[in-house]
Chains A and B, each alone.
Chain A
Amino acid sequence: MTTAVDEGGDSSKESSRSRRRRSDQADSLDFDPQAPLLEVRDLQVEFRTRDGVAHAINGASFLVREGETLGILGESGCGKSVTAQAIMGILDSPPAHIGGGEVLLRGVDLLKLDDKVRRSVRAERVAMVFQDALSALNPVFNIGWQLGELFRKHRGYSKSDARKEAVQLLDLVGIPDPENRVSDFPHQFSGGMRQRVMIAMALALDPDVLIADEPTTALDVTVQAQIMQLLADLQKERDMGLILITHDMGVVADVADKICIMYAGRIVERADVNSIYKNPAHPYTKALLESIPRVDMKGTELASISGLPPTLTKLPSGCSFNPRCAYVKDRCTHDEPPLYEVDGDRRSACHYYEEVLGR
């Protein structure tokens, strides 16, 4: 088993992981233990519609290591979910088309794998938690069946063995009385419980990478905190890479190590969480932070970002943010900024990031 060598994590965890991988087709792949856990390089995704081509993702690049949490932040429609789906390989392929780029899992480009192998990678190595658990769970099958399915289909377990695993999983994510609850249907759970079930489903086969697409958006604030805590605990326990996708800056601040800010299908800033919040290097990030209402600003006008996000079929020339930018200059309207290196690991896609930083 390739992952056993480099992880630097608990070796007993590794051997248990390898024990569970009995029927793993992905075993035949040439994983490079030195390569980063998940690296996305210059991903391009477009949607071919009757109205034109919508450039949903225009060159996104980022990296996640084991044990690390990467937050992807952005407004609705900026391409965060599409990125997640592209990594998982579950984009609806006639309208969607992957135009270029690589998704490297320990050095193996998932985009180039054939269907069957790709499928075995899903859920086994990279798993996803969806936003609305009520619609993401099949309403006509009970939870035990849906959880057990992963074991039955990926590992060849029998029905009763799969069920036992399902009960254990429910217990792991904190669902009380799992023995009985396992035969219940999704609509019989509360919102928070359902989300825990979704997490259980994602973790079932012990993946290396977990992508959580707006896992708490549909939940109450108190439940949100519980779920985020659960995710953090589980991640630590299993040394997984976690990609957290959200539009809520508050949620991500607590949990993430690194943050990518997305706008109109591009990553416009990438940095560790502290730098982003303390001193943003991109006008969009800055505007986002400024638009968060603060108690000490009571009585003053609410700050907002003027204008609307661009339609993906007609992106502005030059920097996509230029129509709404407070720092816009002539160069911005025709020269698309690359991801400049600000310092160390920090990147910003703005020609004038120095100015934004206040240097």
Chain B
Amino acid sequence: MGRYTLRRLLQFIPVLLGTLFLLHYLQSLSFQINGNPIRALFGDRQPPPETIAALTRAFGLDDPCLTQPGNPCFGLFFDRLGNYAQGDFGVDFNRQSVIDLIIRAAPLTLRLTFIAVVFESIIGIVAGVLAGIRKDKFIDNFVRFSTVLIIAVPVFVLGVLVQIGSGLYVGTWLAEQGAPEWLTATFSITYQSDHPWASLLVPGMVLGALSLGFIARLTRTSLIESMRADYVRSARAKGLSGTRVVGIHALRNSLIPVITYIGIDVGALMGGALVTEGIFNIPGVGGLVFQSIRSGETPVVIAVVTLLTMVFLLTTLLVDLLYAVLDPRIRYE
């Protein structure tokens, strides 16, 4: 187990550095080719050169290597890494520290992700198990059909449709009926900060919908494969009850890929929930990215994406380690 962990760590570090460098290089390249983005901030106005210079310095964009297209700017890269290590992710155009913005936005995203993961896991796994044990019967066909449908609908389409359906139709109808506030908040069009959990329920389900489809399918396939395995026959030959054979022997094996998938998903979902937060106006981390794109604050976008990438890669590493815990065969590789 120790050797396995060490190997994974050794693989993780170069990939992390590589991805961060990729982001850095693209950013530098963009500045080298497109020029200083600070200028674009001011639109048609012509600010005095000193202002531009000062802002450029403040954003750390005054390195000479940025004038040479193609220069990988290693010095700048390592400076940036140093900053990241100290928690410095730069500032936005209003001089607010990006890391502060992220810290303020993170709790919402965490809540949203939590709801999404719980929703997709419970329903996905239950649906997958039911479909698997009643293969080719009605419930199986129903699950297969509905999951394909969910997977085929792009997240933003689903989000928009749900927003209209739940927010506009159900929400206003509820309000007209005089329903309690928390109920209308659940079905509102946008996020409402005085109902931090209720109004995130529906967006959370939208966020988790796609994964739900994948999880249900994966669970189903995995369970069916497990039930065909020889060890299931052995378990039956041991005179164990059907429930135990499926519920413990088969399921324990078939849940391994599902749990690892969910683990990766956590990292992926935290990695922005960009579209969902944008549609439902949730001021989380994804919403931050969304707004920064709108307002053209590219350095903020890059900084947030950098942090999210680090979180994502870290999650992948943790899931790899988790996998070894779940499957004893891997531990002794």
Q: Do A and B touch, yes or no (CB under 8 Å, in the complex)? A: yes
Q: Which of A123, A136, A150, A188 lies in contact with B230, CB distance below 8 A?
A: A136
Contact flags B227-240 to A (C-beta < 8 A → 1, else 0): 00111011111111
Smallest CB gap from A211: residue in B: B237
Residue B252 interfacial (CB < 8 Å): yes
Find out whether the CB atom of B329 lies under 8 angstroms from the CB atom of A149: no
Find out whether the CB atom of B230 lies under 8 angstroms from the CB atom of A135: yes
Find out whether the CB atom of A121 lies under 8 angstroms from the CB atom of B239: yes
Q: Which of A138-146, A246-254, A317-325, A327-335 contacts B (4 or more CB under 8 A)?
A: A138-146
Q: For window 136-165 of chain A, which residues contact chain B by CB distance below 8 Å? A: 136-142, 149-150, 153-154
Q: A119-B241, A154-B239 are in contact. Are A136 and B329 (CB under 8 A)?
A: no
Residues in A neighbouring B236, C-beta threshold 8 A? 90, 122
Residues in B neighbouring A142, C-beta threshold 8 A? 328
Smallest CB gap from B231: residue in A: A138
Find out whether the CB atom of A120 lies under 8 angstroms from the CB atom of B239: yes
Q: A187-B329, A187-B332 are in contact. Are A139 and B231 (CB under 8 A)?
A: yes
Residues in A neighbouring B252, C-beta threshold 8 A? 138, 140-141
Number of cross-chain contacts by CB at 8 Å: 71
- The answer for the CA separation of A124 and B253 in the assembled complex, in Å, is 26
Find out whether the CB atom of B239 lies under 8 angstroms from the CB atom of A130: no
- The answer for the CA separation of A132 and B329 in the assembled complex, in Å, is 17
Find out whether the CB atom of B253 lies under 8 angstroms from the CB atom of A123: no
Q: A153-B244, A185-B329, A187-B329 are in contact. Are A138 and B239 (CB under 8 A)?
A: no
- The answer for the CA separation of A130 and B229 in the assembled complex, in Å, is 12
Residues in A neighbouring B328, C-beta threshold 8 A? 139-140, 142, 185, 187
Distance from B306 Cβ to chain A, minimum over Cβ atoms (Å): 38
Find out whether the CB atom of B230 lies under 8 angstroms from the CB atom of A130: yes
Sorted nearest first, the 3 A-B pairs with minimum C-beta distance are A122-B239, A135-B230, A123-B239
Find out whether the CB atom of B329 lies under 8 angstroms from the CB atom of A138: no
Q: A185-B329, A187-B328, A187-B329 are in contact. Are A138 and B237 (CB under 8 A)?
A: no
Smallest CB gap from B327: residue in A: A140
Q: Which of B231, B244, B256 lies in contact with A136, CB distance below 8 A?
A: B231
- The answer for the CA separation of A121 and B240 in the assembled complex, in Å, is 11
Give the B interface residue count (CB, 8 A).
Answer: 22
Find out whether the CB atom of A201 lies under 8 angstroms from the CB atom of B329: no
Find out whether the CB atom of A135 lies under 8 angstroms from the CB atom of B229: yes
Residues in A neighbouring B240, C-beta threshold 8 A? 119, 149, 153
Residue A276 interfacial (CB < 8 Å): no
Residue A193 interfacial (CB < 8 Å): no
Q: For window 184-204 of chain A, which residues contact chain B by CB distance below 8 Å? A: 185, 187-188, 198, 201
Smallest CB gap from A84: residue in B: B237
Q: For window 317-356 of chain A, which residues contact chain B by CB distance below 8 Å? A: none
Residues in B neighbouring A120, C-beta threshold 8 A? 239
- The answer for the CA separation of A290 and B269 in the assembled complex, in Å, is 68
Distance from A157 Cβ to chain B, minimum over Cβ atoms (Å): 14
- The answer for the CA separation of A201 and B238 in the assembled complex, in Å, is 8
Residues in A neighbouring B80, C-beta threshold 8 A? none
Find out whether the CB atom of B231 lies under 8 angstroms from the CB atom of A123: no
Find out whether the CB atom of A119 lies under 8 angstroms from the CB atom of B253: no
Residues in A neighbouring B39, C-beta threshold 8 A? none
Residues in B neighbouring A153, C-beta threshold 8 A? 238-240, 244
- The answer for the CA separation of A149 and B235 in the assembled complex, in Å, is 10
Residue A60 interfacial (CB < 8 Å): no
Find out whether the CB atom of A137 lies under 8 angstroms from the CB atom of B253: no
- The answer for the CA separation of A108 and B295 in the assembled complex, in Å, is 82
- The answer for the CA separation of A153 and B239 in the assembled complex, in Å, is 9
Find out whether the CB atom of B235 lies under 8 angstroms from the CB atom of A188: no
Q: For window 93-139 of chain A, which residues contact chain B by CB distance below 8 Å? A: 119-124, 127-128, 130, 132, 135-139
